Structure 1
Amino acid sequence: MRETLSRQVGVARPLSADPAGQAIRRGNRIRRRRTGVGLSLAAITTVVVSTGMAQLAQDPDRQGSSIVVIGDPDPSARAIPTATVPAPPPSPGAPADLLVGGTLISADGKRLELPGVGPAERARPLPGGGGLLVVGAATTAGRSLWVAQSDGLVQVLLAGAGQIVLAPDGRQVAWRDGTDLLVAGVIGTQLIGSARTPVPAGAEPVRFVGDSVLVRLDPAAPGHALWRPGAGQLVARGDRSTINVYGTLPDGRLIGQVATDDPRRTCLAVLGPTPALKPDRTGCGLQLSRDGVGGISTDGRWLLVNGSVGKVSRSLLVDLSQLGPDTAAVPAGPPMTGTVAWTTTSQASYLDGTGQLVRVDVDRVRAGTPATPAPVNGVQPGYRPVLVTGS
């Protein structure tokens, strides 16, 4: 009897219900169902994205070369900031950052290598800081727009575009694409909410005026138009006298150069920010260049503009509060190239034709002491510096 009972206790009998096994099998079934759903959603997403890309490429309304928008870059290509590397001291009186080739040189002399940035034409800080928006120089393949982040990571936003202009706050960009003008918002490292309008052959965006874009209709003749995205297509409404526009006053009006009945003579004018760009006030006593280079101080009081004194080409300082029949200007320094960076209401910087930095102090210029150029330290032969405006 003892032996029989021992054999019965030693044999493991199967349970009628196995809770652990049931739980494992149930988990396997749920995992298989989730995997199937995920693969289905991925396939649907791929089809939708592919369809959208095909529609963009095959849009019959698009003519000319297409704009390329690049996605997220490979983090492995991230450049290592080199601010700790010994750098030359800042240039004398340098109030703004400079972009020299693929290197950002801050006003305090720190350097950040941005190897993905090609030859640049303009640069402006990103909204909220943290990097730069860089407009590339014109090439046979068009222009590019880069985002260069403060850690050295560079991303292409646009490639193969025509003329590119940035809003003063860096939150919008406008560009020419084939026969169209486009505007989009800049959010982080993406362009969103683009709008477009057909434009005449040769027309190019010039600058933002509030939420509108100022468009030069013909580079060989006077005439501009304002286009407000989302309010219809661009319409040229009668302006055939405005040659150049230098900037916007605090009240929204513009300062521009207008043609007169004498083809050898032009005038400065305050222009209404309307499609007609009707002059409100003019001053015609200046010899102004037609190159369009100029900039207005942050308070709207002063204008730096290229012109001449007698037969000598100079940059001129104009008191806009005195704009009228007796408008006068004083020589401010050598002629300007590129953009003008006003850092205070009475100080501005620009580059001359040799790539040297010129800092203008309004009080000194008015006292009869024009600004003189100074070399930009650390610039290699063949590289032209670019001022970072708004820095």
Structure 2
Amino acid sequence: MSALPGRPDNLTDGPRRSYQVRPDELEGAVRETLSHQVAVARPLGVDPAGQAIRRANRIRRRRTAAGLAVGAVVTVVLSAGMAQLGAETGRDGTPIVVIGDPDPSGRPIPTASVPGADPSPGPSATLLGTETLVGADGRRLVLPDVGAAEHAQLLPGGGGWLVISTQTNSGRSLRVLQNDGLAQVLLAGAGPIVLAPDSRQVAWRDGNDLLVAGVVGGQLIGAARTPAPAGAVPVRFVGDSVLVRPDPADAGHALWRPGAGPLTEAVDQETLNFYGGLPDGRLVGQISTDSGGTCLAVLDPARHLSPVETGCGPDLSQDGVGGISADGRWLLVNGRIGKASRALLIDLRRLKSSPTAVSAGPPMTGAVVWTDASHASYLDAAGELVQVDVHRVRAGQPASPAAVSGVPAGDRPVLVAGL
């Protein structure tokens, strides 16, 4: 095929297109194009509503993931905490637990009732039954069932009670019973438990160790522990230290200051029992003598419990039951007059000059509560309340027991103070 003559390419000749455009035609074409673009709905380059929806979805997914992560962390922490507490008990048993009820809306509010006239002001001795606190003035306060109680004390500020259970096959428990009805278990399956006088600390035996912790907001915090001899038990708090009896079958006590080192051996070999403290911080206790008898002694914790005063004469029992008045003058302690077992009243101001003892009433069981400098209360073996008036006792009129009203039959009350 040959190209057309006269052309160097293969284009054919045809009508030539004019590229001459008049201004009015160009303007019309631009307007027409713009009108078409306005008429056609095109997707926006930026969609605010879509962005808001997508952002909300992303936030919801992140919150869901964060919630799952927090739940997992809490589960791990709680599991680790319980594992740690279980490991710290040093035994294969029920671990120390802290149980709370975060929703108080369904809890009954305990109410106190007072039969007769209004109660007199000031502190009074009270009794803790299974569900009832009973005051010496007749006031009764119903509490949740705590089972058999061994000891109870007011919480700081009077917002409830700390209650130590009696010994069971699984050990002892410590519960918080708040005035709004909340019941919490602080310790379960523990050995002997003692509370500081202000209820801000607790010491207990657990496995092979002794432990001390603070009581704050219904929880135990800042626990410290030390290995202890087999059978060693906490006896009482002495300031920030814990008085420990290494062997309840033998005389002797030791002082353990948590955080300052382990428990040392007994710092004395004579003390049998302690009845309380004096205003100056010294303690009153019972010591053994070379002749096999016992005497009263004032012991100084700052001098390794060395006796600084002693007084012999009264025939004291060795059950350890006794209590000292707040002013440090009077001691109620179990003993004997002749062959009769009695509660004895002793004037500690005459300790150095062979103190004499007078009969104050029947023998005591449990705690002794001094309501003021000259009045005390305790329970006898039958669980009846004995109210001691020092002036009447010194005048030869021992106190007599009286049945406690409001305590269900079969419940053995526990004497407490502060209701």
TM-score, normalised with respect to structure 1 = 0.89
The CA distance in 2 between the partners of 1:12 and 1:377, in whole Å, is: 95
2:143 matched to which residue of 1?
114
2:333 matched to which residue of 1?
305
2:307 matched to which residue of 1?
279
The correspondence for 2:265, drawn from 232, 236, 239, is 236
2:410 matched to which residue of 1?
382
Once the two structures are overlaid, the 10-residue window that deviates more, 376-385 or 101-110, is 101-110
2:365 matched to which residue of 1?
337
Once the two structures are overlaid, the 10-residue window that deviates more, 354-363 or 70-79, is 70-79
Give matches, 1:36-55, under 5 Å: 36-55=65-84
Gaps of 5+ in 2: 1-35
Residues 90/115 of structure 1: CA separation in 2 closer, same or farther (3 Å cut)? farther
The CA distance in 1 between the partners of 2:141 and 2:151, in whole Å, is: 17
- Contact (CA 8 Å) 1:303, 1:317: kept in 2 or not? yes
Give matches, 1:217-232, under 5 Å: 217-232=246-261
Query: Residue 249 in 1 paired to residue 306 in 2?
Result: no
Cα distance per residue 1:254-301 (max 9 Å; x no partner): 0000000111x1100000114731100000011101000000111111
> Residue 242 of structure 2: SS of its match in structure 1?
strand
Once the two structures are overlaid, the 10-residue window that deviates more, 36-45 or 172-181, is 36-45
- Contact (CA 8 Å) 2:343, 2:359: kept in 1 or not? yes
> Residue 343 of structure 1: SS of its match in structure 2?
strand
Once the two structures are overlaid, the 10-residue window that deviates more, 316-325 or 13-22, is 13-22
Residues 158/268 of structure 1: CA separation in 2 closer, same or farther (3 Å cut)? same
The CA distance in 1 between the partners of 2:180 and 2:136, in whole Å, is: 17
- RMSD across aligned C-alpha pairs, in angstroms? 2.7
1:361 matched to which residue of 2?
389
Once the two structures are overlaid, the 10-residue window that deviates more, 100-109 or 206-215, is 100-109
The CA distance in 1 between the partners of 2:99 and 2:241, in whole Å, is: 28
The CA distance in 2 between the partners of 1:98 and 1:84, in whole Å, is: 14
Amino acid at match of 1:335: P
The correspondence for 1:215, drawn from 244, 248, 252, is 244
Cα distance per residue 1:172-199 (max 9 Å; x no partner): 0111111111111001211111111111
Superposition deviation, residue 153 in structure 1: 2.3
- Contact (CA 8 Å) 2:114, 2:138: kept in 1 or not? no
Gaps of 5+ in 1: 1-7
> Residue 388 of structure 1: SS of its match in structure 2?
strand
The CA distance in 1 between the partners of 2:111 and 2:60, in whole Å, is: 50
Once the two structures are overlaid, the 10-residue window that deviates more, 42-51 or 308-317, is 42-51
The correspondence for 2:195, drawn from 130, 146, 166, is 166
Cα distance per residue 1:340-386 (max 9 Å; x no partner): 01111111110011111111111211222111111101223211111
Residues 233/148 of structure 1: CA separation in 2 closer, same or farther (3 Å cut)? same
Superposition deviation, residue 236 in structure 1: 1.4
- Contact (CA 8 Å) 1:82, 1:111: kept in 2 or not? no
Give matches, 1:122-271, under 5 Å: 122-263=151-292, 265-271=293-299
Amino acid at match of 1:354: A
Superposition deviation, residue 116 in structure 1: 3.3
- Contact (CA 8 Å) 1:89, 1:377: kept in 2 or not? no
> Residue 164 of structure 2: SS of its match in structure 1?
strand
Paired positions, count: 380
Superposition deviation, residue 58 in structure 1: 4.3
The CA distance in 1 between the partners of 2:91 and 2:62, in whole Å, is: 47
The CA distance in 1 between the partners of 2:392 and 2:398, in whole Å, is: 7
- Contact (CA 8 Å) 2:300, 2:306: kept in 1 or not? yes
The CA distance in 2 between the partners of 1:367 and 1:134, in whole Å, is: 37
Amino acid at match of 2:353: P
Superposition deviation, residue 110 in structure 1: 4.3
- Contact (CA 8 Å) 1:225, 1:275: kept in 2 or not? no
- Contact (CA 8 Å) 1:89, 1:109: kept in 2 or not? no
> Residue 158 of structure 2: SS of its match in structure 1?
coil
- Contact (CA 8 Å) 1:217, 1:223: kept in 2 or not? yes
2:23 matched to which residue of 1?
none
Once the two structures are overlaid, the 10-residue window that deviates more, 96-105 or 61-70, is 61-70
- Contact (CA 8 Å) 1:65, 1:178: kept in 2 or not? no
- Contact (CA 8 Å) 1:95, 1:349: kept in 2 or not? no
Amino acid at match of 1:131: G
The CA distance in 1 between the partners of 2:127 and 2:118, in whole Å, is: 10
Superposition deviation, residue 40 in structure 1: 2.4
The CA distance in 1 between the partners of 2:389 and 2:169, in whole Å, is: 39
Query: Residue 348 in 1 paired to residue 376 in 2?
Result: yes
Once the two structures are overlaid, the 10-residue window that deviates more, 342-351 or 34-43, is 34-43
Amino acid at match of 1:233: P
Superposition deviation, residue 139 in structure 1: 1.2
The correspondence for 1:315, drawn from 329, 334, 343, is 343
Larger-gyration structure (1/2): 2
Superposition deviation, residue 91 in structure 1: 11
